Copies of this chain bind each other. A is one copy, B any other.
């Protein structure tokens, strides 16, 4: 399979490192992969024989720009070269996300799918805004749109819903979907500190961003929950349909009272389907110690699906970071190679 990578940030670099380390695995599984294009907004690298991963990573880690790379770097390379190249099987879309317009990723994905190129992405914006439209284009062109990385990285959230629950109707989704807020809550439990102190610790450790609103106000959780809901329940829900509350109002006293009863606060995204009415919400919930998500602590994530005929399924895992995110992209790649139908 010939691959084009769009975007050259942390996840892209981790993905290229991962592929490079998987040489034995790929040989053993008889899977042949090469990357022919890596593009960012300035241009990129093209090698029809497959880019030398380690050589490129060495070059750019020494502050070389992609366009100056001596083996195929150029400022003239654009996305259109990929579309016009009949040898590309898979586009990996990892450009910076835009949650208002979804662009430019939306156009990249749409054009690739229309050109019968599979798309794998970790780009939440266009998937939240336009999953159904993109998926229909994939179906029409008999290619796959794989988005596992948008809803929890290494946690097999989409996989779990699509394939582990195959043949059953999912009737509810409940998840601890954001590692940053989960870390802050654990920090408050462990050290009895205030929310502001825990947030500062998370920021110092690089877990929370300088502007933490996306995480702590529940928007990241809501985005992941909505993508899961729309993909797995074939819905068309938006942020406007969702009650979203964050964690910034929680006090040490709340935590203390919960601990006295052996309970824990978690930021839970929850979708329920009752009498065919689907409702989505995000907010703090107090979990009993017997709840399957009770032990999902720190940067880990967890999900519980309930279904008509396969009962409950709880999935726990998926630590944060670029390496697990890259492994999630690689998982989608292997599964597409093995004949999975994500788009149907």
Contact = CB atoms under 8 A, between A and B. Distances in A.
B344 A167 contact: no
Interface stretch (A51-59, A78-86, A153-161, A247-255): A153-161
Nearest to A314: B316
Give the number of times this chain occurs in the complex, counting copies.
2
Interface in A295-344: 295, 297, 309-319, 323-324, 327-328, 330-331, 333-335, 338-341, 344
Contacts of A291: 295
B163 A340 contact: yes
A22 interface: yes
Contact of A309 (B18, B160, B316): B18
Contacts of A169: 25
A313 B167 CA distance: 22
Taking residues whose C-beta sits less than 8 angstroms from the other chain, chain A's interface range is 35 or more
A316 B154 CA distance: 17
Nearest to A300: B312
A311 B154 contact: yes
A290 interface: yes
B292 A295 contact: yes
A291 B296 CA distance: 10
Interface string A187-217: 0000000000000000000000000000000
23 contacts: A18-B309, A22-B167, A156-B164, A160-B164, A163-B340, A166-B331, A166-B334, A166-B335, A167-B330, A167-B331, A290-B295, A290-B297, A292-B295, A309-B324, A309-B330, A310-B327, A311-B318, A311-B324, A313-B315, A313-B317, A313-B318, A338-B344, A339-B340
Given A163-B340, A166-B338, A290-B295, 11 more contacts: A155-B313, A159-B163, A163-B163, A289-B289, A290-B297, A292-B295, A310-B317, A311-B324, A316-B316, A338-B344, A339-B339
